[in-house]
Amino acid sequence: MKLRYKAPDGDTSKKIEFSLADPGLNAAGASTDFEFAASVAAFAMCLRDSEYKGQANFGLVKELAMAGLGDDAKGYRKEFVELVKKAGELAEAKKKAAEKK
């Protein structure tokens, strides 16, 4: 990876180069916080029907969010799961309505 940066009061940029290695990890070993964060990011991409969402859908978002519930003392994460369920139901209803036309 190559990065260039310039100090706030500097006139010239400096380049840093270093190599990265893929440790070969998969999502199965991810923390609950990471899984929940991934579900929130995927949810945003699904809502926008982003070209970058890959195979993400509301079902996957729900799975990730459920896996990332962890210690949810205030219930915010469970509330997010409910929001995802409703968004998935709305998307399905919209799809069915479009098919009827």
What does pTM read for this prediction?
A: 0.72
What six digits make up the tokens of 6?
């310039």
b (16+ CB within 10 A) / e for 13-34? eeeeeeeeeeeeeeeeebeeee
Q: Tell me the mean pLDDT in the region 29-53.
A: 94
pLDDT tens digits, one per residue of 49-59:
999 999 999 99
Q: Do residues 68 and 77 lie in contact, with contact meaning Cβ atoms separated by under 8 Å?
A: yes
Q: Tell me the mean pLDDT in the region 64-87.
A: 95
Q: Tell me the mean pLDDT in the region 19-23.
A: 87
How many CB atoms sit inside 10 A of residue 70's CB? 12
Task: Give me the pLDDT at residue 24, please.
Answer: 79
Count Cβ atoms within 10 A of the Cβ of residue 11 and give its class: 0-12 exposed, 13-18 middle, 19 or more buried. exposed
Q: Which residue has the higher pLDDT, 3 or 29?
A: 3
